Chains A and B, each alone.
Chain A
């Protein structure tokens, strides 16, 4: 029996200035495992948010047909009620509650508000048996590992008589054994008639369990591959994922590349919470003056962790390794020292880590270099205003002047304010982490132009980006990172989306 359980027809979703999804079609058959693949930002998560009602009906175009009826979900609860359950990458469990309490949170077995613990524990035991989790229902979630937490989430989904289970990167934080167990569980569910959609970057897993694979790219459905009708190799999937042409979206740059300005050697670091987990292994990178160097990788590859640990040990612990600027070993143990050594780090999370949102452009611009506008601890506010005005016009920040609060600026202009701050600190090397995330195309071009100008001024630029075309379009050299290792270093000539993806996939399989 191969009838269709879910059909999403011509889904189009626009955010201010960005078309996130355009005429996406997804057809999932009852009782299959359907994989949804695509690069970061291809629209997978957005599509699932449309499906689950996070983006309520009316905010997108197109139809969702589930079990034969067109559905209009207004809130998440609507989709859950008819059996669609999403398990997100960041688990939605309350750590200080028990497994049983978590499973029935918001859905307690109770009469007149009084919980029946007997029933709760009984049902929990049944559910845990189904997902193969050998833990007591009263164990606190905080005391079990990530793999078991994932199973708890699935048990929670089963408690709601799920028909369609959606897993967003379920194995991203699992080790190999736990991953295998989870995938086998999905296969078992399939035998019981539960349909699953699995979103993942791990193509070997996709091939192992999927019946069909839908590839998304740039918010559009590229292709749906049927694994039973044709031989689907990873190469085929990759080609479909990345197969787009580089358009003329990147300003050209011809800058002489000279001496090495930044060198990081043998850089190791451990996770800031799971203190036994090493997140960076012997990373080594060099950046020359006038050069733009990229770091490619999937989410969770350790790129941001690397940048932040170098920038004043802002991430991780037990950090070891050496940093050299212009061949001289420098101390980067605090952010202040890293700045003084000539580093600047433009964060990927400008709202939480980059800007004082409630404060104005003026104060945000001078924050990292207050010394530059003050004498003896007293701020020369005329000088400060001049600096801010100067950067505002140089970076073409569109605002009502330098007194506008950062919170009221568009994403692109906010990013330019962050850039102003770091340019004013006059670094030798700028580390840019996802510098164009959530920014419209026009502003992207301007950011690339600023990067080119920096290279022309003889600075070194290290750029982390999840958008491969962006790296290919702007970088002279690209490091590929995966699971805390540098797994490849590609020259401009060698680098292509295929070669980067291949380097990531191969390194993942070697283990």
Chain B
């Protein structure tokens, strides 16, 4: 770096304290997640971080994470969707009818299920966007309607088991390409590639920002932060590799997380959703079709709920009328724990994912300990309240 550029960099490097302050929500939640993990690791006598349990954690939470991605957009747009649990049940039923009863292949069943999910989202979004009926009411109605429809198409009984290729989305693992002894080769290679790519991308991003005079965190902080993240990825990847490798559903989930992070951070559609949630009238007066945007947000939610429905059905290896009951609460809680604002306009994909895993790790840890479902519910409720209080407290302190 030559001496001409140097002062410019100095000017745009914000102090560590102010950087943490402006990102306190994310760090706070990340630290909470780590603390909860460490707590249960100790309390369960080391079971939590056992490779088989890490694998289970991923399998058990994948569908919540998938739906939280869509729910985050819905909440950022200033709405809510209570129907996703029922859509999970309904799509599970649809896919069971298609594959088990009608003998359809996996791929066409997947496509039809996603389309049905999208149509359900569209049906609800239509009333919310174009008739201004509050989302709470429309999706409450949807929750009841689609739960009822689930009972109807399943004839009030379980349908299963699914064909083996169908089960693979939820219970399969990516193939092991080379022999690496006890380690799952493809998984460990993907982990290393992922960690390095992430690090390089962050590095290049910082370089570009510095070159254009955009605020960046101090270099030492950047380095420590990214080394910790890479280290955590490598550790988790290694743990998975010592068992059966990465589950298929993890790949799906990661791809979706990357996609939606990109959408929210870098695309015009994402920006418009945030603007609409922040101030719908101003957004409309800036030439943005807020009705269509709201509509599409719900279509998207429907598609993701449809995907989650298939994952859940495949995991249970049977479609049951009660599948997905109460899921909407976990999904919504994940978003709020992750820092989304109930009044719209605020929230991050990474936050929602962290929120989902906080819920997941607590579920998992408390189950291992043998805590009853009664206490589990209470603890989760209090954690939700505490997380949102933390938000409100920080906001008031800043103002």
Interface residues of A (CB under 8 A from B): 311-312, 314, 334-336, 338-340, 345, 347, 352-359, 363, 366-368, 370-371, 374, 377-379, 381-382, 385-386, 389, 401, 403, 421, 425
Residue of chain B at shortest CB distance from A368: B286
CA distance A368 to B272 in the complex (A): 10
**Does B269 sit at the interface, judged by CB under 8 A?**
yes
Q: Are A359 and B275 in contact (CB under 8 A)?
A: yes
Contact among A311, A338, A385 for B212, CB-based, below 8 A: A385
Residues of B with C-beta under 8 A to A381: 266
Q: Are B286 and A371 in contact (CB under 8 A)?
A: no
Binds A, one of B55-63, B105-113, B276-284, B354-362: B276-284
CA distance A379 to B282 in the complex (A): 20
**Interface CB pairs A-B, < 8 A, 13:** A312-B285, A334-B289, A352-B281, A355-B282, A358-B278, A363-B275, A367-B282, A367-B283, A368-B286, A377-B269, A385-B214, A386-B212, A389-B213
Contact among A336, A355, A379 for B287, CB-based, below 8 A: A336
**Does B271 sit at the interface, judged by CB under 8 A?**
yes
Q: Are A312 and B282 in contact (CB under 8 A)?
A: no
Given A355-B279, A367-B282, A379-B266; 18 other pairs, CB 8 A cutoff:
A312-B285, A314-B285, A336-B287, A353-B282, A356-B283, A358-B346, A363-B271, A366-B271, A367-B288, A370-B272, A374-B268, A378-B266, A379-B271, A381-B266, A382-B208, A385-B212, A401-B215, A403-B215
List residues of B (236-293) whose CB comes within 8 Å of A's CBs.
Answer: 266-269, 271-272, 274-275, 278-279, 281-289
Report if A357-B279 is in contact (Cβ < 8 Å); known contacts: A314-B285, A335-B285, A378-B266. yes
CA distance A386 to B282 in the complex (A): 23
**Does B306 sit at the interface, judged by CB under 8 A?**
no
Q: Are B212 and A359 in contact (CB under 8 A)?
A: no
CA distance A371 to B269 in the complex (A): 11
| 5 nearest A-B pairs in the assembled complex, by CB-CB distance | A356-B278, A368-B286, A336-B287, A370-B268, A339-B287
Report if A354-B282 is in contact (Cβ < 8 Å); known contacts: A363-B271, A385-B214. yes
CA distance A381 to B345 in the complex (A): 19
Q: Are B267 and A314 in contact (CB under 8 A)?
A: no
Q: Are A379 and B268 in contact (CB under 8 A)?
A: yes
Interface flags for B313-333 (1: CB within 8 Å of A; 0: not) read 000000000000000000000
Cβ distance B255 to chain A, nearest Cβ, rounded Å: 18
Interface residues of B (CB under 8 A from A): 208, 212-215, 266-269, 271-272, 274-275, 278-279, 281-289, 345-346
Q: Are B282 and A356 in contact (CB under 8 A)?
A: yes
CA distance A378 to B282 in the complex (A): 22
CA distance A354 to B208 in the complex (A): 31
Residue of chain B at shortest CB distance from A343: B287
Cβ distance A384 to chain B, nearest Cβ, rounded Å: 9
CA distance A340 to B208 in the complex (A): 33
Q: Are B212 and A356 in contact (CB under 8 A)?
A: no
Q: Which of A340, A356, A425 has the most CB of B within 10 A?
A: A356
Residue of chain B at shortest CB distance from A350: B282
Residues of B with C-beta under 8 A to A374: 267-268
Residues of A with C-beta under 8 A to B266: 378-379, 381
Residue of chain A at shortest CB distance from B211: A382
Residues of B with C-beta under 8 A to A338: 287
Residue of chain B at shortest CB distance from A354: B282
Q: Which of B208, B271, B279, B345 has the most CB of A within 10 A?
A: B279
Q: Are A347 and B285 in contact (CB under 8 A)?
A: yes
Residues of B with C-beta under 8 A to A370: 268, 271-272
Cβ distance B399 to chain A, nearest Cβ, rounded Å: 9
Q: Are A356 and B287 in contact (CB under 8 A)?
A: no
Q: Are A359 and B268 in contact (CB under 8 A)?
A: no
Contact among B212, B272, B289, B345 for A358, CB-based, below 8 A: B345
Q: Are B267 and A379 in contact (CB under 8 A)?
A: yes
Q: Are A345 and B285 in contact (CB under 8 A)?
A: yes
Residues of B with C-beta under 8 A to A345: 285
CA distance A451 to B275 in the complex (A): 27
Q: Are B283 and A378 in contact (CB under 8 A)?
A: no
Q: Which of B208, B269, B278, B289 has the most CB of A within 10 A?
A: B278
Residues of B with C-beta under 8 A to A335: 284-288
Q: Are B284 and A314 in contact (CB under 8 A)?
A: yes
CA distance A356 to B268 in the complex (A): 16
Residues of B with C-beta under 8 A to A379: 266-268, 271
Q: Are A312 and B287 in contact (CB under 8 A)?
A: yes
CA distance A381 to B209 in the complex (A): 10
Q: Are B345 and A356 in contact (CB under 8 A)?
A: yes
Q: Are A356 and B275 in contact (CB under 8 A)?
A: yes
Cβ distance A390 to chain B, nearest Cβ, rounded Å: 12
CA distance A374 to B268 in the complex (A): 7
Cβ distance A74 to chain B, nearest Cβ, rounded Å: 25
Residues of B with C-beta under 8 A to A421: 286
Q: Are A352 and B268 in contact (CB under 8 A)?
A: no
Report if A367-B286 is in contact (Cβ < 8 Å); known contacts: A357-B278, A403-B215. yes
Q: Are A311 and B271 in contact (CB under 8 A)?
A: no
CA distance A354 to B279 in the complex (A): 9
Cβ distance A292 to chain B, nearest Cβ, rounded Å: 22
CA distance A304 to B374 in the complex (A): 58
Contact among A311, A340, A357 for B285, CB-based, below 8 A: A311
CA distance A340 to B287 in the complex (A): 9
CA distance A420 to B382 in the complex (A): 44
CA distance A363 to B272 in the complex (A): 10
Residues of A with C-beta under 8 A to B212: 382, 385-386
CA distance A69 to B181 in the complex (A): 96
Residues of A with C-beta under 8 A to B208: 382
Q: Are A336 and B269 in contact (CB under 8 A)?
A: no
CA distance A367 to B268 in the complex (A): 9
CA distance A357 to B274 in the complex (A): 12
Cβ distance A317 to chain B, nearest Cβ, rounded Å: 15
Cβ distance B279 to chain A, nearest Cβ, rounded Å: 5
Q: Are A371 and B268 in contact (CB under 8 A)?
A: yes
CA distance A471 to B32 in the complex (A): 58
Q: Which of B214, B272, B274, B282 has the most CB of A within 10 A?
A: B282
Cβ distance A387 to chain B, nearest Cβ, rounded Å: 12
Cβ distance B94 to chain A, nearest Cβ, rounded Å: 31
Residues of A with C-beta under 8 A to B282: 352-356, 367
CA distance A381 to B208 in the complex (A): 11
Cβ distance B319 to chain A, nearest Cβ, rounded Å: 37
Cβ distance B340 to chain A, nearest Cβ, rounded Å: 13
CA distance A312 to B267 in the complex (A): 25
Cβ distance A354 to chain B, nearest Cβ, rounded Å: 6
Q: Are A368 and B287 in contact (CB under 8 A)?
A: yes
Q: Are A353 and B285 in contact (CB under 8 A)?
A: yes
Residue of chain B at shortest CB distance from A418: B282
CA distance A352 to B281 in the complex (A): 7
Residues of B with C-beta under 8 A to A378: 266-268
Cβ distance A14 to chain B, nearest Cβ, rounded Å: 23
Q: Are A377 and B268 in contact (CB under 8 A)?
A: yes
Residue of chain A at shortest CB distance from B279: A356
CA distance A403 to B287 in the complex (A): 23
Residues of B with C-beta under 8 A to A385: 212, 214
CA distance A296 to B279 in the complex (A): 29
Cβ distance B59 to chain A, nearest Cβ, rounded Å: 33
Residue of chain A at shortest CB distance from B281: A353
Residues of B with C-beta under 8 A to A401: 215
CA distance A291 to B266 in the complex (A): 39
Residues of A with C-beta under 8 A to B269: 377
CA distance A351 to B214 in the complex (A): 27
Cβ distance A308 to chain B, nearest Cβ, rounded Å: 8
Residues of B with C-beta under 8 A to A336: 287-289
Residues of A with C-beta under 8 A to B286: 335, 367-368, 421
CA distance A103 to B238 in the complex (A): 73
Contact among A347, A359, A386 for B278, CB-based, below 8 A: A359
CA distance A355 to B278 in the complex (A): 9
CA distance A359 to B345 in the complex (A): 8
Residues of A with C-beta under 8 A to B284: 314, 335
Cβ distance A72 to chain B, nearest Cβ, rounded Å: 29
